[in-house]
Amino acid sequence: MPPAPKVPLHIAVVMDGNGRWAQRRMLPRVAGHRQGVESVRSIIRVVGERGIRHLTLFAFSSENWQRPADEVGFLMELFLRALREEMDRLHDSGVRFSAIGDLSRLAPETQQLIEEAQARTAANDRLWLNVAVNYGGRWDIAQAVARAVAAGRSHAFPDYLALAGQPDPDLFIRTGGERRVSNFLLWQMAYTELYFTDVLWPEFGAEDLEQALAWYAGRERRFGMTGEQVREVAGG
């Protein structure tokens, strides 16, 4: 096995803390979601500049439907608007866009824009951006198994997971202070390095990403082997 590169190939992010960011400012929670879009723009730019090839952002979980209807509605509108307003720029900067999750529950207009954006950016290869919407790690495993069985390929069910064909995340970042995975990429994060920060998502910027990357660079990824074995391979 080659030595683990010190820059992650794939980063997965739970963008948490929007509501608390707003509440601390006496603003409605949704103001935090709006501000969070700015952090999304900035992390996509910085990640691209640092040569990271895959970025997976958790935008809406399969459990987030349980929130008040007006907050859910606002988040869906915000996602639709971001799709409309950002896709030209993303395409021009060489970003390939995918949405992962059970998209059948999204508005038909949103589903159509997703399909168009995916088709339009499919040949871009600078950065592969996956946005998880109505995504749950348990849903992902269950749908992959169901499709694999239907195809008579149950042994190959990982081929049917939402991120099939992309490397597993090397680095997981969760903002907002909680130390949990909240049903994100359960299968894919078996050996991912887990980084947690108290910074709230609307305040997460380039310096915070640099800190996470520096922390990652100091990890020794052993994949079940001994440290001696890993260092022997790394040393040639």
Residues with a catalytic annotation lie at 16, 64
The answer to whether residue 16 forms part of the interface with Mg ion (CB under 5 A) is: yes
The answer to whether residue 16 forms part of the interface with ligand IPE (CB under 6 A) is: yes
- Closest to 77 (Cα-Cα) out of 229, 69, 164: 69
- Closer to ligand IPE by Cβ: residue 48 or 137: 137
The answer to whether residue 127 forms part of the interface with ligand IPE (CB under 6 A) is: no
The answer to whether residue 136 forms part of the interface with ligand IPE (CB under 6 A) is: no
The answer to whether residues 56 and 185 touch, using CB atoms and an 8 Å cutoff, is yes
Distance CA(41)–CA(48), nearest Å, equals: 11
Query: Which segments of the chain are extended strands (E)?
Result: 10-14, 54-61, 95-100, 127-135, 171-174, 193-196
The answer to whether residues 30 and 73 touch, using CB atoms and an 8 Å cutoff, is no
Tell me which of 180, 210, 225, 232 binds ligand IPE, using CB under 6 A.
Answer: 180
Tell me which of 4, 11, 12, 15 binds ligand IPE, using CB under 6 A.
Answer: 15
Minimum separation from the CB atom of position 180 to ligand IPE (A):
6
The answer to whether residue 202 forms part of the interface with ligand IPE (CB under 6 A) is: no
Residue 6 CB contacts under 8 Å (≥ 6 apart), including other chains:
216, 217
Partner interacting with residue 209 (select from Mg ion, ligand IPE, none; CB below 5-8 Å by kind): none
Distance CA(100)–CA(5), nearest Å, equals: 26
Q: Which residues bind ligand IPE (CB under 6 A)?
A: 14-20, 58-61, 64, 75, 176, 178, 180, 182
Q: Which residues bind Mg ion (CB under 5 A)?
A: 16
